[in-house]
Structure 1
Amino acid sequence: MQKSGLLFTMLLSGALYSYGQQSINKYPDWAIGPFVRPTGVNPIISPDSTTHFYDPMQKKLLDWESNDTFNPAAAVKDNKVYVMYRAEDKSGVGIGARTSRIGLAESSNGITMRRTGKPVLFPDMDDQQEFEWTGGCEDPRVAVTEDGTYLMLYTQWNKKVPRLGAATSKDLVHWKKHGPIFQDAYNGKFHDIASKSASVLTTLKNGELRIAKYKGKYWMYWGENHVYAATSENLVDWTPLVDANGALKELASPRKGYFDSHLTECGPPAILTSKGIVLLYNGKNRSGADGDINYTANSYCAGQMLFSAADPSKLISRLNKPFMVPAESFEKSGQYPAGTVFIEGLVYYKGKYFLYYGCADSRVAVAVYTPSAN
Structure 2
Amino acid sequence: MTAHHATSFFTGAAFPLGPFVPYENNPILTPLGGSWESSNLYNPAALVVDDEVVLIYRAHADDIVSHLGIARSKDGVHFERQSDPIISPEHEYERYGCEDPRISVIDGTYYLTYTGWDRREAQLCLATSTDLEHWTKHGPLFKDFDTFKPTPDAHGHNWSKAGVIVPHKMQGKWWMYFGEGCIYWATSDDLIHWTPGTTDEEPMYKPTAGTFDADLVEIGAPPVLTDNGLLLFVMNGATRTPKPEGGWDVDYRCGQFAIDPDHPDQVIARMQTPWLKPQSFEDHHGLIPNVTFVEGLVKFHGKWFAYYGQSDTTLAVAIHDPERQWGDAFVAALD
| TM-score between both structures, scaled by the size of structure 1 | 0.76
Unaligned runs of 5+ in 2: 1-12, 147-156, 243-247, 326-335
Alpha-carbon distance between aligned partners in 1 of 2:144 and 2:211, rounded to the nearest angstrom: 32
Q: Contact 2:171 / 2:262 at 8 angstroms: preserved in 1?
A: no
Unaligned runs of 5+ in 1: 1-27, 51-62, 92-97, 183-187, 202-210, 289-295
State, as a whole percentage, how many aligned pairs show the same letter: 39
Q: How much has 1:189 moved relative to structure 2?
A: 4.5
Alpha-carbon distance between aligned partners in 1 of 2:117 and 2:200, rounded to the nearest angstrom: 24
Q: Is the counterpart of residue 268 in structure 1 residue 221 in structure 2? A: yes
Secondary structure, in 3 states, of the residue corresponding to 1:119? coil
Q: How much has 1:83 moved relative to structure 2?
A: 0.7
Deviation readout 1:98-150 (Å, 9 max, x if unpaired): 200001111011110101111000013xxxx11111x11000001111x2211
Partner of 2:120: 160
Letter in 1 for 2:52: K
Q: Contact 1:199 / 1:267 at 8 angstroms: preserved in 2?
A: yes
Q: Contact 1:75 / 1:81 at 8 angstroms: preserved in 2?
A: yes
Letter in 2 for 1:197: A
Partner of 1:6: none
Partner of 1:342: 293
Letter in 2 for 1:137: C
Partner of 2:170: 214
Alignment RMSD: 1.9
Q: Contact 1:229 / 1:249 at 8 angstroms: preserved in 2?
A: no
Secondary structure, in 3 states, of the residue corresponding to 1:43? coil
Q: 1:247 to 1:154 in 2, by over 3 A?
A: closer
Q: Contact 2:19 / 2:324 at 8 angstroms: preserved in 1?
A: no
**Matches of residues 1-374 of structure 1 in structure 2 within 5 Å?**
30-39=15-24, 41-50=25-34, 63-91=35-63, 98-124=64-90, 129-133=91-95, 135-145=96-106, 147-182=107-142, 188-190=143-145, 193-201=158-166, 211-242=167-198, 246-273=199-226, 274-287=228-241, 298-337=250-289, 339-374=290-325
Q: How much has 1:173 moved relative to structure 2?
A: 1.8
Letter in 1 for 2:85: P
Q: How much has 1:172 moved relative to structure 2?
A: 1.5
Size of the aligned set, in residue pairs, is 297
Alpha-carbon distance between aligned partners in 2 of 1:319 and 1:254, rounded to the nearest angstrom: 13
Q: Contact 1:213 / 1:219 at 8 angstroms: preserved in 2?
A: yes
Q: How much has 1:372 moved relative to structure 2?
A: 4.1
Q: Contact 1:241 / 1:248 at 8 angstroms: preserved in 2?
A: no
